[in-house]
């Protein structure tokens, strides 16, 4: 079945970096883009950015520009999200989510989600 | 950025009754070239990732019960649960994917009265 499985929880100190992985299975990896969405404790959903799995093109939320990098490894079917210069307000559950439809040339709803990775930033 | 405003923040509905959630976008999310509204609805239960219910404003995701329906166009949208079931207790989010940054509404918590 179509599935996204994310890496485990992380605890980081302020100023450090974190890299979260998202392994896809059950579909053609390079046919669907992947977004990253985070959710701070007790809060709503925040879109971080999107990556094309076919050509590596990215689109990042302006507020995270310069701190976030999204990449993919098509040989292993894994998407990565690295966030640098971590602050306490980066503490959140981080989700990867697959586009609902085959890459269309525009943004899409998010049809398949990973289980989430908790990132805690604390000194 | 397109701001998504949901109302109400929470609602309590009796089992079997109708629940209605509204979502308003700060600008139109209708794309005339494909005649579609770039608006989705998600359901999130505690400790779980969001689940896609509705996309293109009114297309139900495969496997979603038909008591869930979406309507609206342009800037005003509605998610309706026609007959609330106990398993529908959750937070519901609207989401625009018309333009970057993609944005979500603040969420509506649905409980049983």
Q: For B57-85, write each residue's pLDDT tens digit.
A: 999 999 999 999 999 999 999 999 999 99
Asked if A62's CB is within 8 angstroms of B49's CB, the reply is no
Q: Do A46 and B104 touch (CB under 8 A)?
A: yes
Asked if residue B101 has a cis previous peptide bond (ω within 30° of 0), the answer is yes
Residue A106 has what pLDDT?
85
Q: What is the spatial distance between Cα A29 and Cα A54, in angstroms, rounded to a whole number?
A: 8
Query: Tell me: the pLDDT tens digits for A46-58?
Result: 999 999 999 999 9
Mean of pLDDT over chain A = 97
Q: Give residue A105's pLDDT band: very low, low, confident or very high (50, 70, 90).
A: confident
**What's the gap in Å between the CA of B113 and the closest CA on chain A?**
22
Over the stretch B12-54, which tens digit does the pLDDT of each residue have? 999 999 999 999 999 999 999 999 999 999 999 999 999 999 9
CA A98/CA A24 separation, integer angstroms? 9
Place of tokens 């289980």: A115
Residue B101: half-sphere exposure toward Cβ, Cα within 13 Å: 19
CB pair distance less than 8 Å for B42 and A110: yes
Give the distance from residue B84's alpha carbon to the nearest chain A alpha carbon, in angstroms: 23
């Amino acid at each position: 079945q179509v599935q996204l499985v994310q890496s485990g929880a992380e605890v980081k100190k302020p100023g450090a970096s974190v890299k979260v992985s998202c392994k896809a299975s059950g579909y053609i990896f390079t046919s669907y883009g992947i977004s990253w969405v985070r959710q701070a404790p007790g809060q709503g959903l925040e879109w971080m950015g999107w990556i094309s799995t076919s050509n590596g093109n990215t689109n990042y939320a302006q507020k995270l520009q310069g701190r976030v990098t999204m990449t993919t490894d098509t040989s292993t079917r894994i998407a990565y999200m690295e966030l640098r210069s971590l602050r306490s307000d980066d503490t959140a559950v981080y989700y990867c989510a697959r586009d609902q439809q085959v890459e269309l040339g525009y943004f899409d709803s998010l049809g398949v989600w990973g289980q989430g990775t908790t990132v805690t930033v604390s000194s | 950025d397109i701001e998504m405003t949901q109302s109400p923040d929470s609602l309590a509905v009796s089992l079997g009754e109708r629940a209605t959630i509204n979502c308003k976008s700060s600008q139109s999310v209708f794309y005339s070239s494909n005649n579609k509204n770039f608006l989705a609805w998600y359901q999130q239960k505690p400790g779980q990732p969001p689940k896609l219910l509705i996309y293109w404003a009114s297309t139900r995701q495969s496997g979603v019960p038909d008591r869930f329906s979406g309507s609206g166009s342009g800037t005003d949208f509605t998610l309706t649960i026609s007959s609330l079931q106990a398993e529908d207790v959750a937070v519901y989010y609207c989401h625009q994917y018309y333009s970057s940054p993609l944005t979500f509404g603040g969420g509506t918590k649905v409980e049983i009265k």
